[in-house]
Amino acid sequence: MGKPNLVNVINTHRPEFGRFLYASVGEDRNGTVVTVLSALARLGLDPWAETAELVTLGRDAAQARLGSLLGRFRDVPALAGNHSRVARELSQLLPDSPKSGTLKRASATVADGHPGKSGVIWAALAILFVMFQVLTFGGSGSGQ
């Protein structure tokens, strides 16, 4: 197990989910483009946790779950008869299932809202390092 990236410890939103989450599901009644992220949020779901779960399900099960979710989403009129087709297209934008446990750990992190213990340790060490630098080299800004 490698060292966690400090950016990923602080930001648990996985960058590989971006293509899927920011894809359009259609336009709402006001003509505004609605993304997957917005649709999931409007359904009362955490978009990143739901996406992590979809990825761990595998492509076919993810497509079925996404189709079910989009079928409940009433803000985009064009989805009424096309939610299965849209779900099929959107499911192709999901990252591949993890070969290692990395994405599964990320989904657990996103789902429970807490980074793993090693992530907390790295974040604490980064904070201590910054505090040490300030105390050692001073913060007076005298330039000497």
The overall pTM is greater than 0.85? no
Would you state the pLDDT for residue 120?
62
Separation CA 23–CA 119 (nearest Å): 30
Separation CA 71–CA 74 (nearest Å): 8
Would you state the pLDDT for residue 35?
96
pLDDT tens sequence across 28-75: 999 999 999 999 999 999 999 999 999 999 899 999 999 999 999 999
pLDDT tens sequence across 77-136: 988 888 899 999 999 999 886 654 444 555 555 445 555 555 566 666 667 667 766 676
Strand partners, 27: 33
Separation CA 73–CA 50 (nearest Å): 15
Separation CA 47–CA 51 (nearest Å): 6
